[in-house]
Amino acid sequence: KAGVTQTPRYLIKTRGQQVTLSCSPISGHRSVSWYQQTPGQGLQFLFEYFSETQRNKGNFPGRFSGRQFSNSRSEMNVSTLELGDSALYLCASSLGLAGGYNEQFFGPGTRLTVL
């Protein structure tokens, strides 16, 4: 089975711009979660989508949004980029809801740099 894929792998944007990241889960997985990884902050949960519905949300501002399509692929959008948004963005897929004893499989991440 192909693993979780994310595109693009690297992005450079300037402050004020917006960005869209994409995540393709493992075939058959219905849950996609998004995380922000920064040095010293570990993995911070953004949101989880399951069957095209947001099921769980972390403590991030409304500039961070996402959606999931009928084929379980998910996109994450960040509007009005700030310098502090520079990070590695990881998505993870699981068969069922991530909070329900389901192992999460991570993608390679998208490295976003905001200048």
The binding site for another protein (CB under 8 A) comprises 33, 35, 40-45, 48, 56, 58-59, 90, 98-101, 103-104, 106-109
Nearer to another protein, 45 or 75 (CB): 45
Smallest gap from Cβ 101 to another protein, in A, equals: 5
In Å, how far are 18, 76, 99 from 115, measured between CA atoms?
12, 20, 35
Q: Is 12 helix (H, G, I), strand (E, B) or coil?
A: strand
Pull the structure tokens for residue 35: 């995380």
Least distance in angstroms from the C-beta of 113 to another protein = 16
Cα 44 to Cα 14, 36, 37, 38, distances in angstroms: 23, 5, 6, 8
Q: Give me the least distance between CB of 66 and another protein, in Å please.
A: 14
- Interatomic CA distance for residues 66 and 49, integer angstroms: 8
Indicate the residue among 59 and 70 with the shorter CB distance to another protein.
59
Asked if residues 49 and 31 have their Cβ atoms less than 8 Å apart, the reply is yes
Q: How far is the CB of 107 from another protein (least distance, A)?
A: 6
Closer residue to another protein (CB): 81 or 112: 112
Nearer to another protein, 22 or 108 (CB): 108
